[in-house]
């Protein structure tokens, strides 16, 4: 070994000596070397700068705080329908430790459990002949109470709608009924029937470990069991308060309605508990959690926390880029076409520039789920277990390719035109328009969708790739899987061995060649950071 080292050292010294040996003098009669023209220098392709390193942590830069009971009005006198949207800056982050699910259960009990004047059954009976809607929805940082009614029934509906907040029944029997539903949603819904949601919840728990975002909004089994009626009553007074409230109205709104509604809501407690201070989120990468459960398919979720949110100059170009990868349930996405259409791997392959929760009855994201700390994520399911590693590699392969190569002009033009039209569908209803207007108060993005469409007109493929290189980090990904053979998947991921795929029918040579690159693509996974958990433990406590 010593002899080899001396030889190597001698070789290096020799090479260094050769490199420093002066060249023989040139022929004095030879013509001077050509000097590149300035035009040629200008045409020489510049080397792109190395992408910036990903941040070590995502700080909790606070969202903006509107005035207490700030009023947002979208007047439309040609509509007979009045829409209400009361958005409180409170969510599952306000759940006390050991009582996870308290905010969601409190909001549900208020919206569905009746008022001091009406039992829960009487509440439904009163709403039915008016064809009125009344519901509540809780996310990590926001809870919305929404209502919708024909103007002919406005006085009666407004009494009921405001009583839900001002005079809820908060009945012990109703609490037990709704608590049982919430526990069943975890045990029989999340764990048993919905692998997509289970994967996303598992990914949240992994990304936000030790953070108030980590637990499922609907709560944990033990947390829900620990909640008492006194907890609910106290919590309502702590978080459903004027200083946390934005009031939204749309439709045939007049001054009398605005005055009547704000006057009634002024009976809410003026000030609530201090807002939870969110900690930074470390951008630890390369981790995977594999949830073992009896299931015929494998569900895959991947993502990382990002400081990019609405209002950031890079948000709009990244939104276009992630839409190019896979807008939710749309057929244009690269992942949809490469993994589903060309390879027949699975049903859905979608990518998101921010947290995505589908608005029921649509393919659009919910409003009023704003978050201080956002994430970039990709969702893939259901995949035949034998193809789980290949599908995972495929998603990361095409994400990495996007960051490295960007979009062609043709593809960019296609996506820009598509989004100019598709974003119009996101604002079809008064409720959605109100939701966007209220979100804009917290993000500081007035006329958000108009801003998006205007930004699209100014983007170029280069500006999109510049944003991708600055802010998208495939090496930052973390993974959550839901599958039956969890140990087998863990071994395959730890080994890093190729994951070839076979087909029942012939495929083109170009696709098979790309398959070879995908099957050996190195995933950003650390073998020592892959854990297997039984499904019964997910959101148990």
pLDDT of residue 2: 36
Structure tokens at 113: 């459990």
Quick one: how far is CA 153 from the chain centroid? Answer: 38
Helix (H), strand (E) counts: the chain: 19, 13
pLDDT value at position 295?
A: 96
In terms of DSSP H, where are the helices of 255-381? 255-265, 315-326, 334-335
Confidence at residue 55, expressed as pLDDT on a 0 to 100 scale? 86
Q: What is the dihedral of CA 529, 207, 347, 456, to 10 degrees?
A: -130
pLDDT beneath 70, residues of the chain: 1-49
Domain annotation for the chain: domains and CATH numbers: 61-265 (3.30.830.10), 283-537 (3.30.830.10)
Residue 322, token pair as written in the block: 């992630």
Check: CB of residue 481 under 8 Å from CB of residue 388. Answer: yes
Q: Can you say whether the dihedral through the CA atoms of 418, 420, 421, 422 is positive or negative?
A: positive
Pull the structure tokens for residue 62: 């606070």
Residue with tokens 């002024």: 266
What HEC string does 203-219 produce?
HHHHHCCCCCCCCCCCC
**pLDDT (0 to 100) of residue 6:** 29
Paired residues of 306 in beta bridges: 374
Instruction: Dig out the tokens for 356 from the structure.
Output: 């995505």
Segment 67-71 long-range contacts (CB within 8 Å, at least 24 positions apart)? 68/242, 68/243, 68/244, 68/245, 68/270, 69/242, 69/245, 69/246, 69/247, 69/262, 69/265, 69/266, 70/246, 70/247, 70/441, 71/247, 71/248, 71/249, 71/258, 71/262
Cα distance between residue 335 and residue 319, in whole Å: 15
Q: How far apart are CA 422 and CA 53, in angstroms?
A: 33
| pLDDT on residue 49 | 66
Question: Distance between CA 355 and CA 368 in Å, rounded?
Answer: 11
- Which residue, 219, 205, 212, 238, is CA-closest to 93? 212
H or E stretch covering 163: helix 154-166
CA nearest to 230, candidates 271, 170, 177: 170
199 closest CA partner among 307, 303, 351, 55:
303
Q: Round to whole Å and give the CA distance between 185 and 369.
A: 20
Q: What pLDDT, on a 0 to 100 scale, did the predictor assign at position 4? A: 34
Q: Which residues contact 261 (CB under 8 A, 6 or more apart)?
A: 84, 158, 162, 247, 249
pLDDT score, position 104: 98
Starting at the earlier edge strand, list the strands of the sheet with 245-251.
70-75, 245-251, 81-88, 143-150, 133-138
| Residues 115-137 pLDDT 10s | 999 999 999 999 999 999 999 99
Indicate the pTM of the whole model: 0.89
For residue 4, count other CB atoms closer than 10 A to its CB.
8
User: For the chain, how long is the longest CA-to-CA vector?
Assistant: 109
What pLDDT score does 53 carry?
81
Please check whether residue 110 is in contact with residue 174, taking contact to mean a CB–CB distance below 8 angstroms: no
Cα 152 from Cα 429, distance rounded (Å)? 20
């Amino acid at each position: 070994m010593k002899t080899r080292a001396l030889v190597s050292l001698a070789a290096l010294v020799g090479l260094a000596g050769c490199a420093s040996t002066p060249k023989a003098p040139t022929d004095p009669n030879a013509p001077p070397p050509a000097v590149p023209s300035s035009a040629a220098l200008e045409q020489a392709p510049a080397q792109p700068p190395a992408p910036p390193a990903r941040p070590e942590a995502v700080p909790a830069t606070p969202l903006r705080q509107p005035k207490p009971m700030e009023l947002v009005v979208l007047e439309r006198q040609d509509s007979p329908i009045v829409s209400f949207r009361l958005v409180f800056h409170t969510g599952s982050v306000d759940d006390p430790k050991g009582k996870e699910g308290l905010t969601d259960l409190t909001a549900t009990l208020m919206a569905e459990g009746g008022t001091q004047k009406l039992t829960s059954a009487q509440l439904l009976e009163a709403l039915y002949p008016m064809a009125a809607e009344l519901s509540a929805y809780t996310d990590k940082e926001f809870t919305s109470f929404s209502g919708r009614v024909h103007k002919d029934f406005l006085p009666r509906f407004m009494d009921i709608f405001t009583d839900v907040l001002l005079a809820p029944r908060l009945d012990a029997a109703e609490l037990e009924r709704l608590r049982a539903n919430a526990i069943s949603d975890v045990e029989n819904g999340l764990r048993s029937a919905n692998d997509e949601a289970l994967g996303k919840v598992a990914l949240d728990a992994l990304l936000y470990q030790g953070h108030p975002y980590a637990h499922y909004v609907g709560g944990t089994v033990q947390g829900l069991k620990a909640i008492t009626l006194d907890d609910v009553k106290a919590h309502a007074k702590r978080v459903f308060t004027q200083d946390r409230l934005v009031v939204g109205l749309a439709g045939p709104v007049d001054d009398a309605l605005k005055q009547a509604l704000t006057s009634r809501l002024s009976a809410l407690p003026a000030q609530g508990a201090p807002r939870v201070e969110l900690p930074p989120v470390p951008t630890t990468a390369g981790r995977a959690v594999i949830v073992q459960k009896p299931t015929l398919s494998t569900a895959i979720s991947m993502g990382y926390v990002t400081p990019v949110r609405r209002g950031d100059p890079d948000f709009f170009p990244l939104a276009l880029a992630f839409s190019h990868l896979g807008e939710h349930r749309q057929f244009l996405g690269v992942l949809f076409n490469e993994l589903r259409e060309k390879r027949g791997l699975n049903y859905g392959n979608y990518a998101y520039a921010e947290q995505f929760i589908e608005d029921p009855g649509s393919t659009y994201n919910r409003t009023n789920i704003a978050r201080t700390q956002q994430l970039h994520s990709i969702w893939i399911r259901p995949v035949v277990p034998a193809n789980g590693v290949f599908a995972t590699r495929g998603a990361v392969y095409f994400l990495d390719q996007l960051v490295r190569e960007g979009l062609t002009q043709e593809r960019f033009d296609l996506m820009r035109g598509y989004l100019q039209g598709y974003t119009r569908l996101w604002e079809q209803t008064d409720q959605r328009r109100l939701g966007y207007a209220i979100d804009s108060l917290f993000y500081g993005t007035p006329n958000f969708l108009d801003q998006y469409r205007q930004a699209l007109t100014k983007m170029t493929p280069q500006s999109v790739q510049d944003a991708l290189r600055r802010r998208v980090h495939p090496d930052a990904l973390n993974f959550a899987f839901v599958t039956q053979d969890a140990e087998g998947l863990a071994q395959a991921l730890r080994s890093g061995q190729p994951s070839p795929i076979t087909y029942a029918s012939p495929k083109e040579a170009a696709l098979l060649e790309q398959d070879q690159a995908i099957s050996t693509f190195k995933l950003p996974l650390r073998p020592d950071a892959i854990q297997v958990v039984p499904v019964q433990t997910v959101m148990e406590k």
